[in-house]
Chain A
Amino acid sequence: MKRLFRTILPPFSVQLAVFLAWYLSGKYELVPTTLLVPPDRVWETVKDMWSTGEFQTHVGWSLRRVGLGYLIGSGAGIALGAAVGISRRAQAWLGTTLDIFKQVPVFAWAPMMILFFGIQEASKLAFVAVACFYPVLLNTSQGVLSVQSRHREVGEAFGLSRTRIFLRIVVPSAIPSVLVGLRQSIALAWMAVVSAELLGAESGIGYFMTYSRLLFQMDGVIVGVLAVGAIGILTNALLGGLERWLVPWTKEVA
């Protein structure tokens, strides 16, 4: 029993404490229960939403948007990152433009996307893609650049063609960095989806949170927050696992 205490408790101690505080606050009305809805009521709401299919619908929409936007944004990021990393020419042509746009805080693009694409799907996808783009771009280009010239020279010494050097030397060496970029951008992408939905939508978790707030159903808001958090943690874990599987030799750096 003591062993269990020692292993299970530490990693989750803070979460347990927070949950306890939440529960006690509900029981003793430390915070108005209209605002901080007690855990049991929230759980009821979750069950309700699951049975009516509402939960699945909204989560489904958000996931769909994240998936698509992420693919587009990361794809573009990898492509351009690789180009800029390999070719000094590409770096010269594209570098300044990319640098200029990099200065703008990513969320500032949301209103513009909504202006251009309206409140339809395209605006949310566009915003998510933009949000994913830069982390992936930066990490990919850095990864490609850092492939030491020695390794390339080895390839040249062996008489490999440029493409083969790229495929068999540069790519494997750059993959760790690319994965770091992908992992950073999924977090950003998820935030982007929720933000876009908070601003203007008719479906999705962000919309659900707005809607709940307007109808003063704070349990719905809390359900939304928990869902956002849970999916964020899950996606991070998934990508982290992928990273460890593909490149087990990298060490986590902050």
Chain B
Amino acid sequence: MSTRKKLDLAKGLVIPVLFLSVWILWTRSHESLLIPSPWKSVLATKQLWETHALQGYLVTSLRRYFFGLLLGTSLGFAVGGLLGSSRWLERFFLPNLNMFRQVPLVGWIPLLVIWFGMEDLSRVVLIAMGAFFPILLNTHAGIRRVPAGYLEVGDVFGLSRWERFQRIVLPSALPWIRSGTILSLTFGWTILVASELLTQANGGLSDILDVGRERFRLDTVNAGIIILGLLGFAFNFLATRLWSIGPLRWLSQNIHNSHEAR
């Protein structure tokens, strides 16, 4: 790393370190339940891990997240593909869906809970709704933006509709679909937290935050924020790297190949 970069890194760390130091010094003299020392928050996190409470919460939250994403992305992809291929369908449904998109998801929560109960289903549905739109819009945009020239090449080669989709449309739309999935994954995680927090989680990670808030224990709340922050970072990381691993690499390379074929 160049000296300049090292200097930049150091500069970046100044504020966090300063913040931590002030916090530690403050709690040294004014220890209170409202402002526990940073160490207490770390302890709280550790305790959650050791009592196996954390694992339980993790499993529940991840389960909801996974199923919600599965539902949302598959539906989003399917509908996006449909709307991208048929002008008629697009004209009919796209403005509608756009309007639904603008309804804040949080508003649906009371209704979903009443209809689907306090089990996983209401949260899975909400996450699915959150994941649905980015994928839908991006898939649709990606398909629509396939350059006309490419499609003509498909015609010249006499490709069937399916072949054309597979070998020209899909690879061309891939960058869009890719950013759609990244958006879905990150937004889905935000919605998971929201859904758990606002429906009194039972079982999910946000329970940590909820209990902390109810009992006025900032160390617990901090533990929750640390855990959620770390997981958020992990998902962000995964989402962007997802496309370069294993089978998906083949897809990305496909773009490369089809571009070369021109």
A and B: direct contact (Cβ < 8 Å)? Answer: yes
Of B102-110, B155-163, B238-246, the stretch lying at the interface with chain A is B102-110
- Over the window 1-27 of chain B, the binary record of Cβ atoms lying under 8 Å from chain A Cβ atoms (1 yes, 0 no) is 000000111011111100100000000
B106/A194 in contact, CB under 8 A: yes
* A68 contacts B by Cβ under 8 Å: no
**Pair B104/A104 contact, Cβ less than 8 Å:** no
Q: Judge whether B190 is part of the interface by a CB distance below 8 angstroms.
A: yes
| Neighbour of A115 across the interface among B9, B34, B107, B134, CB < 8 A | B34
- Give the total of A residues in contact with B, Cβ under 8 Å: 53
Does A112 sit within 8 A of B, measured CB to CB? yes
Determine whether the beta carbon of A14 is less than 8 Å from that of B96.
yes
User: How many A-B pairs fall under 8 Å by CB?
Assistant: 155
Chain B contributes a number of interface residues (CB within 8 A of A) equal to 61
A221 surroundings in chain B (CB, below 8 A): 110-111, 114
Counting CB contacts under 8 A, is B78 at the interface? no
Minimum CB–CB distance for A229 against chain B, Å: 4
Q: How far is the CB of B1 from chain A (nearest CB, A)?
A: 14
- Chain B 165-206 interface residues, beta-carbon cutoff 8 Å to A: 176, 180, 189-190, 192-194, 197-198, 206
Is the pair A107, B193 in contact by a Cβ cutoff of 8 Å?
A: yes
Majority-rule SS of B interface residues: helix
Shortest C-beta distance, B118 to chain A (Å), equals 13
Bitwise, A214-233 to B at CB < 8 A (1) or not (0) is 00001001101100110011
A17-B230 Cα distance, complex, nearest whole Å? 42
Contact with B along A87-128 (1 / 0, CB 8 A): 001001111110010011111111110111000000000000
User: Residue A10 at the B interface, CB < 8 A?
Assistant: yes
**B interface, CB within 8 angstroms of A:** 7-9, 11-16, 19, 34, 91-93, 95-97, 99-100, 102-111, 114-115, 134, 137-138, 141, 176, 180, 189-190, 192-194, 197-198, 206, 209-210, 212-213, 216, 218, 221-222, 224-225, 228-230, 232-233, 236
Contacts A100-B229, A115-B221 known; 4 new A-B pairs at CB < 8 A: A13-B93, A103-B236, A110-B209, A228-B104
What are 13 sample pairs from A and B whose C-beta atoms fall under 8 A apart?
Answer: A12-B95, A100-B229, A103-B236, A105-B194, A107-B193, A108-B206, A108-B225, A108-B229, A194-B104, A199-B197, A228-B103, A232-B103, A237-B102
